[in-house]
Amino acid sequence: MPNYKMNKTTTALNVLYKKWAKEESAEIKQIAESGSYRKYFRIKGKEKSAIGVFNHDKNENRSFLSFSRHFLKKDLNVPKIYTQDLNKNIYLLQDLGDETLFTFAQKNKKMEVIRVYKSALAHLVKFQIDGGKGLDYSVCYPREKFDKQSILWDLNYFKYYFLKLAKIPFDEQKLELDFKTFTNLLLQSESNYFLYRDFQARNILLHNDDLFFIDYQGGRKGALQYDVASLLFQAQINLSPAERNELLSYYLDKLQKKIKIKKRDFSKHYYNYALIRLLQTFGAYGFRGFFENKTYFIKSIPLALNNLAWMIKNEFIPNKLKELQKVLTAIIQNEELIKFRSKESKKLKVVIHSFSYKKGLPIDYSGNGGGFVFDCRVLDNPGRYAEYSNLTGKDEGVVYFLETKSKANEFLSSVYTLVDDAVKNYNERSFTNLMVNFGCTGGQHRSVYCAERLANHLNDNFNVQVELKHTQLSKEGL
């Protein structure tokens, strides 16, 4: 007998299973729900097993089944469709197990996780290019293309289900104007490829030493950048910026073997799509968490906030979007949301910046209001000498100059004394953020050198999380 309480849905799935498998089911178990209203069941008999799906949305069922048949013909790794009864909104799929890329990433070393991520990105290229050829886009639901209407839906989802429920203040008229401007920026990219729409680690299954893909029923025509950003900026995985860059480069290499692209043009739009995906994610967390009171989505907010803070700090929010910039800064400075972030980890995070006094002090996005600021202009400036002018504080020549021809060592000795005491004190009091800034005239030589030295010192002497950012080098491409 089945070990799941029988109801109308499970009874119908049992009948469908018996018709397909030519045997009675021995058990039927509901698989935990995530962010959708679809219901999944694992059905096992003596010889066979299948995944039973119930979804009351007939249009979504039509999209998923049509896409699946097309992708299978293209030899893409999606579950086989065993049988269906769309009058009852049910169908049976191949059972590919429970191991997702998300669960795999939680228990394996980063090197192995990156390897699997690269495999997922290679598959993504096939979906976007090969999968889009000959696809019947007329079955797409709710839109055939990620167009102006789709983008505005996502932005308003963010506004109504996150901003308003989190009580973030904003000027509605100015924000609406920014939404229109942002939409126009997004629509400048080429958008005639298959857009998976929810290409993330929970929708990628590891089965028989290969990857398989599910939940593409929201697919439509769109830009290539959206799906890559969806995977690499998935909040719960928390890839480092270096890892994201490595994976993006890998993806672009694979993509260039299929179509001609200019990496510069791709990158110009990439972070805009990372932002729209992030805003859509906030909307989902707000709806599922604040509105439906589902704890899992509330707990996911701090990781999304980290991604948002990183994007703001690295100036990936378009300058034209003044009200949106203001709103996003208010989100990461919001006291209630900061409480979510502070609960995320007890490990002290030390953020170290090098900066130019001409450009102003770096902003503290942790909510603490600031931290140490050390003026490196007291040291002799290598930038005044022709042989060092095009180098940075990372280069050997500049390092040698500062360590032998200036008082950098004495300067840093005093810095270490102050910062070490602060780290010990913050750890004892369970504080989670400390900011240290080094400034000089151009933000290229002395401040960079000192920031690098302090980062190495802290990593060698304390169990803290060190985040190092050279604000001017990233802008100048040095």
Picking from 242, 247, 250, 239, the residue whose alpha carbon sits closest to that of residue 307 is 239
Position 336 scores a pLDDT of 84
**pLDDT bracket for residue 305 (50, 70, 90):** very high
Asked if residue 333 and residue 227 are part of one domain, the reply reads: yes
Count how many residues are written for the chain.
Answer: 478
| CATH number for the domain harbouring residue 78 | 3.30.200
Show the domain range for 129.
Answer: 101-341
Name the domain boundary from 93, 123, 149.
Answer: 93
Asked if residue 397 and residue 264 are part of one domain, the reply reads: no
Handedness of CA 219, 225, 228, 229 (dihedral sign): negative
Asked if residue 401 and residue 468 are part of one domain, the reply reads: yes
- Reported as a single tens digit per residue, the pLDDT across 388-420 is 999 999 998 999 999 988 999 999 999 999 999
- Reported as a single tens digit per residue, the pLDDT across 227-238 is 999 999 998 887
Asked if residue 318 and residue 297 are part of one domain, the reply reads: yes
**pLDDT bracket for residue 476 (50, 70, 90):** low
Considering its fold, how many domains does the chain have in total?
3
Name the domain boundary from 36, 68, 93.
Answer: 93
Give the whole-angstrom CA distance, residue 330 versus residue 308.
Answer: 11
Residue 2 located in a structural domain: no
Name the domain boundary from 93, 113, 146.
Answer: 93
- Reported as a single tens digit per residue, the pLDDT across 368-377 is 778 999 999 9
Residue 1 located in a structural domain: no
Asked if residue 300 and residue 154 are part of one domain, the reply reads: yes
pTM: 0.72
Give the whole-angstrom CA distance, residue 280 versus residue 149.
Answer: 14
Asked if residue 115 and residue 78 are part of one domain, the reply reads: no
Position 478 scores a pLDDT of 52
Residue 3 located in a structural domain: no
Q: Is 461 helix (H, G, I), strand (E, B) or coil?
A: helix
Give the whole-angstrom CA distance, residue 116 versus residue 104.
Answer: 9
Asked if residue 254 and residue 142 are part of one domain, the reply reads: yes
Residue 320 located in a structural domain: yes
Query: Exposed, middle or buried: residue 167 (CB in 10 Å: 0-12, 13-18, 19+)?
Result: exposed
Asked if residue 131 and residue 255 are part of one domain, the reply reads: yes
- Reported as a single tens digit per residue, the pLDDT across 133-150 is 999 999 999 999 999 999
Picking from 117, 120, 130, 13, the residue whose alpha carbon sits closest to that of residue 73 is 130
Position 1 scores a pLDDT of 37
Give the whole-angstrom CA distance, residue 433 versus residue 177.
Answer: 35
Asked if residue 188 and residue 132 are part of one domain, the reply reads: yes
